């Protein structure tokens, strides 16, 4: 199963998107929310993201989704912190945060590969909501 | 510049932290003008944490470990884009100094080059984008220019001071191309970039410590 790390500046946003992804997939997809700083303030922390990715190592792969700006910087820095063998099955998607997480998780719940899950998450960018 | 040991680097990081914390309101005001207004608070929080972490390290901690600890602490405490940017800069600089007991001018040059390259890699920014790189890159380039033109180490340090200030000031007429400020388009013109300012404050603080340790008086 492909697992997810959700990186948001806000603890509430990361937790809320995780809740939606879990609800849509019956809770079978591992999702870790990395939101906010340890003091509860807004921000992203590359060390926390790296630890989350490491803790998901027993899965077939990990897809990282980020909200805005420096969340991407922190996610990329987290990959820098990981050893080659720890990051071989990890990808950062350039996807809308909520839509990418929910659609990606649904794809993952079908037992899809990291590449398929990655493409679905990135494809969420083209999701139309009005007809 | 005389060779600089771990004790001087410790003092240097302490003074850098003090200056950043003292500059919190200045950085906040600059960032409020063209950003989201959190740079001063974020940086002050980060360097307050750096001071605590460094104070807890054993006295014989080497230069590379001091800088790496500073970088990792900034990553975990700053929160905004400057966390990964400055964190990467310090961590990459530390890698160049691994095992070194003293920081020679040659090592300082390599460390600054690594720091600037780290900022480029992490932020995908170039000179002229109105970022901290506009302060850091000219300093790195000057330090690695091997031809000192017959100038003394003290003169070179004064040149660094001038170049860092000029780099920071160069961001005023620029239009931002990175980060939140880029949304302002032409309205970002006419304001100093907060990251370029915090880099300038850090470099100036470092130069003051290095000048003091080599017996030079502060101009």
Q: Give yes or no for a contact between B1 and B157, defined as CB atoms under 8 angstroms apart.
A: yes
Burial (Cβ within 10 Å: 0-12, 13-18, ≥19) of residue A59: middle
Burial (Cβ within 10 Å: 0-12, 13-18, ≥19) of residue B177: middle
Q: B180 or A47, which is more confident?
A: A47
- Which candidate in A74, A75, A79 is best for mutational testing of the B interface (most B CBs within 10 A)? A74
- Which candidate in B31, B46, B80 is best for mutational testing of the A interface (most A CBs within 10 A)? B80
Mean pLDDT of chain B: 93
pLDDT at A122: 97
A37 with B180: Cβ contact below 8 A: no
In A, minimum Cα distance to B123 occurs at: A73
Q: For chain B, what percent of residues have pLDDT higher than 70? A: 95
Please count the other Cβ atoms lying within 10 Å of the Cβ belonging to residue B165.
14
A113 is catalytic: no
Cα B123 from Cα B162, distance rounded (Å): 25
Nearest to A73 among B38, B76, B85 (CB): B85
> Which residue from A72, A59, A68 is spatially nearest to A108, judged by alpha carbons?
A59
pLDDT at B148: 63
pLDDT at A13: 98
Position B36 confidence tier, pLDDT thresholds 50, 70, 90: confident
Task: Tell me the shortest Cα–Cα distance from A46 to chain B, in angstroms.
Answer: 6
Position B212 confidence tier, pLDDT thresholds 50, 70, 90: confident
The yes-or-no verdict on residue B219 having pLDDT over 70 is: no
The yes-or-no verdict on residue B218 having pLDDT over 60 is: no
**Residue ranges of the alpha helices (H) in B60-104?**
63-77, 82-96
Cβ pairs A/B, distance under 8 A: 51
Cα–Cα–Cα angle for B79, B83, B89, rounded to 5 degrees: 175
pTM of the shown model: 0.91
pLDDT at A90: 98
* Secondary structure element (H or E) that encloses residue B26, with its range: helix B24-34
> Which residue from A115, A96, A114 is spatially nearest to A29, judged by alpha carbons?
A114
B80 with A70: Cβ contact below 8 A: yes
> Which residue from B83, B200, B87, B193 is spatially nearest to B139, judged by alpha carbons?
B200
Chain A interface includes B122 (CB < 8 A): yes
Question: Which residues, in sequence order, are CB contacts of A131 under 8 Å at separation 6+?
Answer: none
pLDDT at B92: 97
The yes-or-no verdict on residue B8 having pLDDT over 90 is: yes
Catalytic-role residue among A6, A7, A9, A120: A9
In B, minimum Cα distance to A10 occurs at: B79
Q: Which A-chain residues 90-129 have CB contacts (< 8 A) with chain B?
A: none
- Ranges of chain A whose pLDDT falls below 50: none
Cα B22 from Cα A41, distance rounded (Å): 21
pLDDT at A87: 93
Cα A53 from Cα A62, distance rounded (Å): 7
């Amino acid at each position: 199963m492909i697992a997810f790390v959700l990186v948001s500046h806000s603890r509430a946003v990361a937790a809320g998107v995780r809740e939606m992804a879990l609800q849509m997939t019956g809770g079978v997809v591992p999702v870790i929310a990395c939101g906010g700083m340890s003091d509860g303030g807004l921000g992203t922390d590359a060390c926390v993201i790296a630890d989350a990715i490491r803790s998901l190592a027993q899965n077939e792969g990990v897809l990282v989704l980020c909200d805005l700006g420096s969340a991407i910087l922190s996610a990329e820095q987290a990959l820098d912190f990981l050893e080659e063998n720890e990051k071989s099955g990890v990808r950062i998607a350039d996807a809308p945060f909520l839509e990418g997480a929910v659609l990606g998780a649904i794809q993952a719940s079908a037992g899809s590969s990291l590449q398929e899950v990655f493409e679905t998450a990135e494809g969420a960018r083209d999701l139309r909501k009005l007809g | 510049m005389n060779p600089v040991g771990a004790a001087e680097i410790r003092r240097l990081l302490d003074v850098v932290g003090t200056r950043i914390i003292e500059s919190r309101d200045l950085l906040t005001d600059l960032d409020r003008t063209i950003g989201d207004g959190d740079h001063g608070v974020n940086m002050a929080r980060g360097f307050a944490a750096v001071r605590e972490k460094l104070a807890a390290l054993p006295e014989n901690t080497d230069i590379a470990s001091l800088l790496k600890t500073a970088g990792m602490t900034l990553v975990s405490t700053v929160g905004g884009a400057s966390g990964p940017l400055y964190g990467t800069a310090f961590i990459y600089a530390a890698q160049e100094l691994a095992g070194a007991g003293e920081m020679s001018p040659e090592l300082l040059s390599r460390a600054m080059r690594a720091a600037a390259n780290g900022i480029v890699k992490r932020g995908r920014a170039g000179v002229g984008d109105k970022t901290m790189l506009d302060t850091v890159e000219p300093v790195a380039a000057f330090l690695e220019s091997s031809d000192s033109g017959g100038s003394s180490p003290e003169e070179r340090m004064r040149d660094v001071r001038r170049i860092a200030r000029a780099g920071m000031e160069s961001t005023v007429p620029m239009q931002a191309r990175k980060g939140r400020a880029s949304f302002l388009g032409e309205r970002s013109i006419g304001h100093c970039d907060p990251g370029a300012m915090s880099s300038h404050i850090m470099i100036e603080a470092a130069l003051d410590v290095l000048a003091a340790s080599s017996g030079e008086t502060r101009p």
